[in-house]
Structure 1
Amino acid sequence: MRTVSRSAITLAASALALGLLTPTVASATSIEGYSSDVQQAAVAEIASTEGITPAAAEEVLRVQSDSVETLNGALDQLGDRQAGGYLDDSGKPVVNVLDEATAAELAPSGVAARVVDYSAAELRSAREALEAVPAVAHTAIAVDPEANQVVLTVAEEADDAAAADLLAAAARFGDAVRVEHATGGLHKAIYGGEAITGGGSRCSAGFNVNSGGQLYIVDAGHCTGAVSQWNVGPSVAASFPGNDYGLIRNDTGSGPGAVTLWDGSTQAINSAGNATVGQRICKSGSTTGLTCGVVQATNVTVNYSQGAVHQLIQTSASVNSGDSGGALFAGSTALGITSGMGGGSSFFQPVVEALNAYGVSLN
């Protein structure tokens, strides 16, 4: 099994908030689906972190959209014979397989195959064993497909005695489980202030949606569950913990299908999709503005002090308190809602799940 230099479970992130008062949409750019500002920010982040030229970074974004579709098709084709997949640093799809014969089967499709030690079933079994241990606040459990491992992250604020049972469970699986230690704790991202405000708290607006002609905002459940009335309208639904999505009735009369980029321009949002490990993303929030990064893991369980939240997206995009509820996206595709942060990573509720739960559609 090869050693990877980038951990898929580092704990930091960023989130993108939907602007209610910025109707100007940036002009089209050379990368389909990306506004000029988002393209510039994403290219700068890729070039910096990967040490490549801006032109090479632009190529990563160009191939990424098709690569996600190709990867999902290959995973569906192989079924139980695959052990997960991801996008590599160039934005191209890689599928983990268990033998050379299966790798050869993928060759005609142009998808890179990598033979790994652990099957999806083995990693799932290890993950389920860790999640069967009583939940410990300030810990997270995820699968790192690049390393072909389950990753248990234990932050400094976790109770040592409680975490000992988790660590003992992890040790039983040898190198199928990797333990990482993070500074600080894992916290939902909300504090008193402005942006969308209510009850002395501040969050960031998420994606504008509608149902039957009524405008709503899909936001973080820990925001809508804590505040009944916002400056844009009342909270009408909340799911937290377990999930972290909620719904705010938008009484402003304005609900553009776009997110603010904090410079007077916006990024149009035309569709919703699921995040893929290795995918280059951006976020915008009322605290940190527009930031970009990479998806480090999906289907992550994060144990906040208020309880566990499951199936989150973990990224390297920068977020901070007040960014909660903001939107995560890749070009014009909505991916997630800002949930929390810790140890240098950020965590997002998948937006498709939230849209389906409330039966709403993107504006």
Structure 2
Amino acid sequence: MNRMSRTVGLAAAGGLALGVLVPTAASATSIEGYSGDVAAAAISTITEDRGVSDAAAARILRVQQDSARTLSELTTRLGDQQVGGYLDARGLPVVNVVSEAAAEQVRAEGATARFVSRSTARLDAARAALEAVPPVAHTSIGLDPRANQVVVTVSEAAADAAASVLLATADRFGDAVRVERFAGEMHKAIYNGEAITGGGSRCSAGFNVNRGGQNYIVDAGHCTGAVAQWNVGPSVEASFPGDDYGLIRNDTGSAPGEVTLWDGTTQAITSAADATVGQQICKSGSTTNLTCGTVEAVDVTVNYAEGAVHELVQTSAAVNSGDSGGCLFAGSVGLGITSGMGGGNSYFQPVTEALSAYGVSLN
């Protein structure tokens, strides 16, 4: 899988400048909901990863928001008649189905129906059995709708004895479960240093939100749980492990609903939604700045050394230590909060869950 994510000098709203954005020819492209610079970064990543033209990459960005909405509506309506879905290489919706009746409904909405051999019940049974195994640090469990499989990812850092139980469980389900191995570890993306700082630790500012007239920052729970007082205000909520979201009271007097770009422009964040497999996304953080890539999986369980975190979004966008808490977004749509990384993948807490848990609204 191509990991050539673009870094172009952007950090999350409230973060510190660590780079300078270099304009490209694609920056003049106008895509609704995207600032020119974010559109340029996303287009550059798509053209490198897929070998398509700038115009083709721009078309993907223009259609994917409506495609993701159609996909969400169809999968909700079809229930067990569907087995997940994703956006194809053109950014168009594909729904996995197990019946002709479901296929007809999908086609009626202008989406592609794809017949698959493994049902939701079969994949859910496999996943439930895998989740029932005591958590093994440096592993993950997720669904790959494009392959119609459950995927178990195992790091070389995972303890052999514990991993053997997980792998034996995976074997019971044959080709319904795919096992992937990688070097390194899975770990949360926190580091000592700058950006939003406190207690000798560094994270990245997430989404500015409000409740009852008070401004807050929705951030990573492993950040807010570890540090009581940040340079922007105190931590007031934390959920980690299990989830990875938290809340910082924003006492700075500045809480724009925008992601700061380091050439004096911004990317407005006007709504929040759940991520979709195949969606083209970007993330910002105080270490790697702006990187872009693709959503590879949703509803992923990641077993960090500190414990399991469930329902994460897995992407190909690069992250590194210090990026924790930063924003995952697609144009003006906020999608997630940076949680961690491992094996060339990055993991994000869905922001919709955090907004709902704390009863806050995007600024």
AA at the equivalent of 2:69: E
Number of the residue aligned with 1:3: none
Decide whether aligned partners of structure 1 residues 113 and 104 sit closer, same or farther in structure 2, where only a CA change above 3 A counts: same
1:72-97 superposed Cα distances (whole Å, 9 cap, x missing partner): 12212322111110000110000001
AA at the equivalent of 1:71: L
Number of the residue aligned with 1:193: 193
Does residue 1:20 correspond to 2:27, yes or no?
Answer: no
With the length of structure 2 as denominator, give the TM-score of the two structures: 0.93
AA at the equivalent of 1:119: S
**Cα drift, residue 13 of structure 1:** 11
Matches of residues 59-98 of structure 1 in structure 2 within 5 Å? Answer: 59-98=59-98
SS of residue in 2 equivalent to 1:192: coil
Number of the residue aligned with 1:308: 308
SS of residue in 1 equivalent to 2:89: coil
What is the CA–CA distance in structure 2 between the aligned matches of 1:197 and 1:77, rounded to whole Å? 45
Task: Structure 1 unaligned segments of length 5 or more: list them.
Answer: 1-5
CA contact (8 A) 1:218 1:248 kept: yes
Matches of residues 256-295 of structure 1 in structure 2 within 5 Å? Answer: 256-295=256-295
**Cα drift, residue 276 of structure 1:** 0.5
SS of residue in 2 equivalent to 1:347: strand
CA contact (8 A) 1:186 1:342 kept: yes
**Cα drift, residue 183 of structure 1:** 1.1
CA contact (8 A) 2:204 2:323 kept: yes
* Aligned residue-pair number: 352
Task: Structure 2 unaligned segments of length 5 or more: list them.
Answer: 17-26
AA at the equivalent of 2:84: G
**Cα drift, residue 70 of structure 1:** 1.1
Q: Pick which of 70-79 and 310-319 moved more.
A: 70-79
**Cα drift, residue 99 of structure 1:** 3.4
Does residue 1:102 correspond to 2:102, yes or no?
Answer: yes
**Cα drift, residue 287 of structure 1:** 0.2
**Cα drift, residue 101 of structure 1:** 4.6
Number of the residue aligned with 1:178: 178
AA at the equivalent of 1:39: A
SS of residue in 2 equivalent to 1:256: coil
SS of residue in 1 equivalent to 2:143: strand
What is the CA–CA distance in structure 1 between the aligned matches of 2:106 and 2:241, rounded to whole Å? 40
Computed over aligned residues only, the root mean square deviation of the Cα atoms, in angstroms, reads: 2.1
**Cα drift, residue 104 of structure 1:** 3.5
Decide whether aligned partners of structure 1 residues 357 and 105 sit closer, same or farther in structure 2, where only a CA change above 3 A counts: closer
Does residue 1:207 correspond to 2:207, yes or no?
Answer: yes
With the length of structure 1 as denominator, give the TM-score of the two structures: 0.93
1:212-244 superposed Cα distances (whole Å, 9 cap, x missing partner): 111100000000000001000010110000000
Decide whether aligned partners of structure 1 residues 95 and 21 sit closer, same or farther in structure 2, where only a CA change above 3 A counts: closer
**Cα drift, residue 128 of structure 1:** 0.7
**Cα drift, residue 69 of structure 1:** 1.1
**Cα drift, residue 263 of structure 1:** 3.1
Number of the residue aligned with 2:255: 255
Task: State the identity as a percent.
Answer: 69
